[in-house]
């Protein structure tokens, strides 16, 4: 009962519980949770506020080169600060391999930069775009064993996409080594076929980005990714689901007992393709892949979050400034094909879900915690160190004022992007105190966190791979014969 820090009389909400009480912290971990605790060396009165696990944003792009060669506006320092202001205590962005690059070298450089700059704890996923024998046989297994237990692969973008045979290769490694594959599921040929004919017909405005990314490109690729994963009976996570068809494919697989998981993002709940349809090129601010859809899709996605079909709400923060360093290509011959893809959202992810999800009654507070923190910890091997409030867990806590009214303004956010798709939106609820490993890093709008204080978290086995499930003799044979041959 010798606490460095205590939180008193807060409404403690986790994915499992909801009660008024105190939290005691010593040496960076939670050492007591009870109805009343003696005050520690520092004591915070949380009366009228919510004490919840710090958010985990497991899909964000930081200090990364896009497939078009555009560098993110946020580095590990600005991204981690922005994340912290939005109630996050852990981020998991991507070390991206581009073709011709050594996965090991990419990962090591990324890790070094994170260690130097991040103000909150972190891990990272890998992006695999060049599954050479060296990548598959050496680098990827070694990195997985070092605690990088997830990787993303793309079915679209000419310079990143894997074909079906390559997807099977990386899925086989995931099954053998214990990693979770994350798939960007859009049919590349459908998108490029539509785009080519749109451009030839003179349809170049940003709004045609959404036309080219037809919903069927997503549902078809989602179905195919699920099928390919089923060949080897390996778990798979479909990221940034934006359509009812995508969500339905995931739900259908889950109904059959397949280990298939889904993620969506705030912009698919709150924006539509209409937001892109503004005069000039300003619609570029809303161009991401997949694109925002329509009200029926929004409805389906809220429903899927509520039912558990989609387990994760991530930002997919892809920070590009609205200028020639980011969104817009140099010169004036802009077509929708030249716009950097992605929206900022690291800082507003949780406040948006709180205001638009919890306060509207679409989701419970406990679902909010699961969707923004606990499920991410389980999905990516961070639980129970992260993602929950329990004795022994890291003291990563966001204290929210559920009544705080905020008008979103890019000027008030802490990323390096300079605009927000939600400019002027009035929301209610904001994290006012953020605690990372027992240190108060955000307090009433002020940052108290040194560059580089964040720690790398070596991740364990993702929960989808922990469950001992029966593998059919067919899948067992297919896993066993791999990787006898990996042809270039």
Closest CA to 215 of 189, 252, 185, 245: 245
To the nearest 10°, the Cα dihedral for 181, 184, 187, 188?
-110
To the nearest 10°, the Cα dihedral for 420, 240, 191, 260?
180
Residue 177 binds what, of ligand URP, Zn ion, none (CB under 5 to 8 Å, by partner type)? none
- Contact yes or no for 414/347 (Cβ under 8 A): yes
How many residues bind ligand URP (CB under 6 A)? The answer is 8
Residue 315 binds what, of ligand URP, Zn ion, none (CB under 5 to 8 Å, by partner type)? none
Q: Does 285 bind ligand URP (CB under 6 A)?
A: no
Cross-strand pairs, 25: 5, 30
Q: Residue 61 or 77: which CB sits closer to ligand URP?
A: 61
Q: Does 63 bind Zn ion (CB under 5 A)?
A: no
Q: Residue 214 or 316: which CB sits closer to ligand URP?
A: 316
Q: Does 49 bind ligand URP (CB under 6 A)?
A: no
Q: Which residue is nearest to Zn ion (CB)?
A: 184
Q: Residue 79 or 318: which CB sits closer to ligand URP?
A: 318
Q: Does 328 bind ligand URP (CB under 6 A)?
A: no
> Applying CB under 6 A, which of residues 215, 342, 344, 454 lies at the interface with ligand URP?
342
Residue 443 binds what, of ligand URP, Zn ion, none (CB under 5 to 8 Å, by partner type)? Zn ion
Q: Does 57 bind ligand URP (CB under 6 A)?
A: no
Token digits of residue 343:
């929206």
What is the smallest separation between the CB atom of 93 and ligand URP, expressed in angstroms?
Answer: 11
Q: Does 184 bind Zn ion (CB under 5 A)?
A: yes
Residue 341 binds what, of Zn ion, ligand URP, none (CB under 5 to 8 Å, by partner type)? ligand URP
24 φ, ψ to 5°? -110, 135
Q: Residue 182 or 382: which CB sits closer to Zn ion?
A: 182
Q: What are the Cα distances from residue 290, in Å, to 7, 100, 427?
A: 41, 26, 25
Q: Residue 345 or 429: which CB sits closer to ligand URP?
A: 345
Angle 164-177/473-481 helices, nearest 10 degrees? 100
The Cα–Cα gap between 213 and 298 comes to: 16
Identify residues 305-334 at the interface with Zn ion (CB under 5 A): 316
Q: Residue 70 or 228: which CB sits closer to ligand URP?
A: 70
| CA 220 from centroid of its chain's CA atoms | 22
> Applying CB under 6 A, which of residues 8, 184, 209, 414 lies at the interface with ligand URP?
184
Q: Residue 53 or 246: which CB sits closer to ligand URP?
A: 246
Identify residues 286-325 at the interface with ligand URP (CB under 6 A): 288-289, 316, 318
Residue 288 binds what, of ligand URP, Zn ion, none (CB under 5 to 8 Å, by partner type)? ligand URP
Q: Does 74 bind ligand URP (CB under 6 A)?
A: no
Q: Does 443 bind Zn ion (CB under 5 A)?
A: yes
Antiparallel, parallel or unpaired: β 88-91 and 180-184: unpaired
> Applying CB under 6 A, which of residues 8, 61, 161, 285 lies at the interface with ligand URP?
61
Q: Where on the chain is the footprint of Zn ion (CB under 5 A)? A: 184, 316, 443
Q: Where on the chain is the footprint of ligand URP (CB under 6 A)? A: 61, 184, 288-289, 316, 318, 341-342
């Amino acid at each position: 009962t010798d606490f460095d820090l205590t939180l008193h009389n807060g409404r403690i909400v986790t994915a499992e519980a909801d009660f008024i009480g105190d939290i005691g912290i010593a040496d960076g971990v939670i050492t007591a949770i009870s109805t009343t605790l003696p005050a520690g060396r520092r004591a915070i009165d949380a009366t009228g506020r919510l004490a919840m696990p710090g958010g985990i944003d497991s899909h964000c792009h930081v200090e990364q080169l896009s497939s078009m060669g555009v560098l993110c506006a946020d580095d590990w320092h600005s991204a981690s600060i922005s994340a912290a202001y939005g109630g996050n205590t852990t981020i998991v962005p991507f070390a991206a391999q581009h073709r011709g690059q050594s996965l090991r070298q990419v990962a090591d450089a990324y890790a070094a930069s994170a260690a130097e700059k991040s103000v909150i704890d972190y891990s990272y996923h890998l992006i695999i775009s060049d599954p050479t024998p060296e990548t598959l046989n050496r680098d990827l297994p070694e990195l997985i064993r070092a605690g990088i237990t997830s990787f993303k692969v793309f079915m679209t973008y000419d310079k990143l996409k894997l074909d079906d045979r390559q997807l099977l290769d990386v899925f086989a490694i995931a099954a053998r080594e214990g990693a979770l594959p994350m798939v960007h599921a859009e049919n590349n040929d459908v998108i490029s076929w539509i785009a080519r004919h749109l451009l030839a017909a003179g349809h170049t405005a940003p709004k045609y980005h959404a036309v080219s990314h037809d919903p069927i490109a997503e549902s078809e690729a989602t179905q195919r990714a699920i099928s390919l994963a089923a060949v080897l009976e390996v778990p798979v996570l479909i990221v940034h689901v934006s359509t009812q068809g995508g969500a339905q494919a995931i739900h259908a697989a889950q109904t059959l007992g397949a280990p298939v998981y889904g993620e969506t993002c705030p912009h698919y709940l709150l924006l539509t393709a209409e937001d892109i349809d503004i005069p000039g090129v300003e619609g570029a601010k809303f161009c991401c892949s997949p694109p925002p859809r329509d009200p029926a899709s929004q409805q389906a996605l809220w429903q899927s979050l509520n039912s558990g079909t989609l387990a994760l709400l991530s930002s997919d923060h892809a920070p590009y400034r609205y200028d020639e360093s980011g969104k817009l290509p140099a010169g004036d011959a802009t077509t929708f094909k030249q716009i950097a893809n992605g929206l900022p959202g690291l800082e507003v992810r949780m406040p948006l879900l709180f205001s638009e999800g919890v306060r509207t009654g679409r989701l419970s507070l406990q679902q909010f915690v699961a969707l923004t923190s606990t499920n991410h910890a389980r999905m990516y091997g961070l639980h129970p160190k992260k993602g929950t409030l329990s004795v022994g867990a890291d003291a990563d806590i966001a204290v929210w004022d559920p009544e705080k009214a905020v008008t979103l303004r890019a000027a008030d956010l802490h990323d390096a992007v300079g605009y927000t798709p939600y400019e002027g939106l009035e929301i209610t609820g904001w994290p006012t105190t953020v605690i990372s490993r027992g240190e108060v890093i955000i307090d009433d709008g002020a940052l108290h966190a040194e560059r580089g204080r964040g720690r790398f978290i070596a991740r364990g086995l993702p929960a989808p791979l922990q469950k001992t499930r029966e593998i059919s003799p067919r899948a067992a044979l297919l896993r066993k014969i791999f990787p006898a041959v990996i042809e270039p």
